[in-house]
Amino acid sequence: MVKVLIVDDSAFMRNALTSMLASDPEISIVGTARDGLEAIEKIASLRPDVVTMDVEMPRMDGITALKHIMEKAPVPVIMVSSLTNEGAKVTLDALDLGAVDFIPKNLSELSVNIVKIKEVLLDKIKQIARRGPIRRIVRPIDKAAIETKIRELRLTVPQRATGERKTSVVAIGTSTGGPRALQEIITVLPKDFPVPIVIAQHMPPNFTGPFAERLNQLSKIEVKEAQEGDQLKPGLALLAPGRGHMKVVKKRTLELVVTISENREEFAYRPSVDALILSIAECYPGRALGVILTGMGNDGLKGLTELKRNGGRVFAQNEQTCVVYGMPKAVVDAGLADKVLSLEEMAGEIINAV
């Protein structure tokens, strides 16, 4: 039985989440709290497996409470977030501090998709509870430490001429736990990283822009939210926008550019990892590296199957460092992974592969 504590100053949200979660016989709502102070007290007495945490609350807000929880008694925390640009920035701060994921606050406005949202939320809570808190120290980004890490990585990497490269593009797919994982990888890549990077991270539309900006500020390479017609270039990471699927296409001039489709098509997730990597497999036969990171479900399996069939290589994050070992597990179980790596090893192996 998964024990959940719901923290929100809104009686409507407490009731909505309680009703939604209590419908699953494997989940027990052990309590609710109206602010951060009450949450800290109830975590100590009720020992929940998962906490849902609102951001804006009286007496003590969710971010302050989260800091205290992560320092004193780590427990998986899912933030209840506003789907606005400001909400995105606060949520990204929370993920930096150790929150494992977020859910939309405006459940009342999502009635059309409420069955799907409920199904995903129930599955997410059960998987996160099984994983428990990841015992990694969550620390602020230290730019001096990043410089040192880049120097150390480059000492172990053989220098190659362009014609010797076996990899011409890196395609990364991720979901739950992905923002922190991407931050740990992208920020240590050197400025002269020799190939383009394309990324599909499951995120709402208003979140991918602020997330790309954050990665860009912390990284040596350039990171931007992709726009229709953006050209793939060495040292540039393009993040798929949350509003649609990103694909790579070859123009008549032989330039490789991205195209953004807002049609759901056959893909369940938006932006879809499969949609991106299937296009990469077609445009870069035998010259692509696919990287699958932490996340629920199996998005990416179809794309990486094709990428591998076309002669590409696949790296998967290992179970021990995933927030949810779903997407990488599907790839590993299918026998597609050339290497199964910890999050700490991933950046070095990507650099070595190009």
DSSP 120-146: HHHHHHHHHHHH-----------HHHH
Q: What is the mean pLDDT of residues 112-122?
A: 73
Closest by Cα among 147, 226, 225 to 187: 147
When comparing pLDDT for 51 and 140, which is higher? 51
Instruction: At 101, list the tokens.
Output: 């994921």
Tell me the β-bridge partners of 172: 199, 291
Report the mean per-residue pLDDT for the chain.
Answer: 88
Q: How confident is the model at residue 105 (pLDDT cuts 50, 70, 90)?
A: confident
Q: Which of 59-68, 96-105, 125-134 has the lowest mean pLDDT?
A: 125-134
Residue type, 74: P
| Amino acid 137: pLDDT | 40
Quick check: 331 and 295 in contact, CB under 8 A?
no
Burial class (CB in 10 A: 0-12, 13-18, 19+), 204: middle
| Amino acid 259: pLDDT | 94
Q: What tens digit of pLDDT does each residue of 193-233 get?
A: 999 999 999 998 889 999 999 999 999 999 999 999 999 99
DSSP letters, 141-193, are --HHHHHHHHHHHHHTS----GGG-S-SEEEEEE-TTHHHHHHHHHTTS-TT-
| Amino acid 276: pLDDT | 97
Looking at mean pLDDT, say which of 85-94, 129-138, 283-292 comes out highest.
Answer: 283-292
Q: Looking up tokens 């939604």, which residue turns up? A: 20
For residue 331, report the phi and psi dihedrals to the nearest 5 degrees: -75, -45
Q: What is the mean pLDDT of residues 79-97?
A: 88
Q: Do 143-353 and 2-131 fall under one CATH topology?
A: yes
| Amino acid 184: pLDDT | 94
Q: What tens digit of pLDDT does each residue of 270-321 get?
A: 899 999 999 999 999 999 999 999 999 999 999 999 999 999 999 999 999 9
**Which residues are CB-contacts of 74 (< 8 A; sequence separation ≥ 6)?**
98, 133, 135
Instruction: At 212, list the tokens.
Output: 């790309």
Q: Which of 173-187, 244-258, 317-331 has the lowest mean pLDDT?
A: 244-258
Whether residue 80 has pLDDT greater than 70 = yes
For the domain 2-131, what is the CATH code? 3.40.50.2300
Give, rounded to a whole angstrom, the gap between the first and last alpha carbons of the chain. Answer: 46
Residue type, 322: C
Q: How confident is the model at residue 161 (pLDDT cuts 50, 70, 90)?
A: very low
Q: What is the mean pLDDT of residues 245-269?
A: 84
* Rg, C-alpha atoms of the chain: 20
| Amino acid 159: pLDDT | 53
Quick check: 53 and 78 in contact, CB under 8 A?
yes
**CATH code matching the domain that covers 143-353, chosen among 3.40.47.10, 3.40.50.180, 2.60.120.10, 2.60.120.310:** 3.40.50.180
Whether residue 156 has pLDDT greater than 70 = no
User: How many CA atoms lie less than 13 Å away from 315 in the CB half-sphere?
Assistant: 22
Instruction: At 20, list the tokens.
Output: 């939604």
Q: How confident is the model at residue 267 (pLDDT cuts 50, 70, 90)?
A: confident
| Amino acid 144: pLDDT | 59
Q: Looking up tokens 């290992």, which residue turns up? A: 318
Can you tell me the distance from the alpha carbon of 102 to that of 100, in angstroms, rounded to the nearest whole number?
A: 7
When comparing pLDDT for 239 and 264, which is higher? 239
Which residues participate in catalysis according to the annotation? 175, 202, 299
The domain segmentation of the chain, as residue ranges, is: 2-131, 143-353
